[in-house]
Amino acid sequence: MKDMAILNRRKPGDSLLEIEFTPKGKKETVSLYVYAKDRMEASNYLILNHIWGKQHRIIYKSLAGM
């Protein structure tokens, strides 16, 4: 898994969110970017794509419509 990678493509109405988490079995934190409508959808994106680990924070980087 690559640090600071964008995992999906933008759809209309999506915002860019940064997810900081520690992958399962690792000790260092990793930051990934995801386009999603809200934080819950961003968190679910990792789970649905079998990206396991402890999520620390989810930050809006760019809001939809900007």
Query: How far is the C-alpha of 20 from the C-alpha of 5, rounded, in Å?
Result: 12
pTM: 0.86
For 41, the 3-state DSSP assignment is helix
Structural domain count, the chain = 1
Residue type, 5: A
In whole angstroms, how far apart are CA 17 and each of 26, 58, 66?
Answer: 22, 7, 14
Residue type, 63: L
- Whether 34 maps to a domain, the answer reads yes
Of 38, 36, 48, 47, the closest CA to residue 10 belongs to 36
Taking only the tens place, the pLDDT of each residue in 11-21 is 999 999 999 99
Taking only the tens place, the pLDDT of each residue in 11-61 is 999 999 999 999 999 999 999 999 999 999 999 999 999 999 999 999 999
- Whether 21 maps to a domain, the answer reads yes
- Whether 22 maps to a domain, the answer reads yes
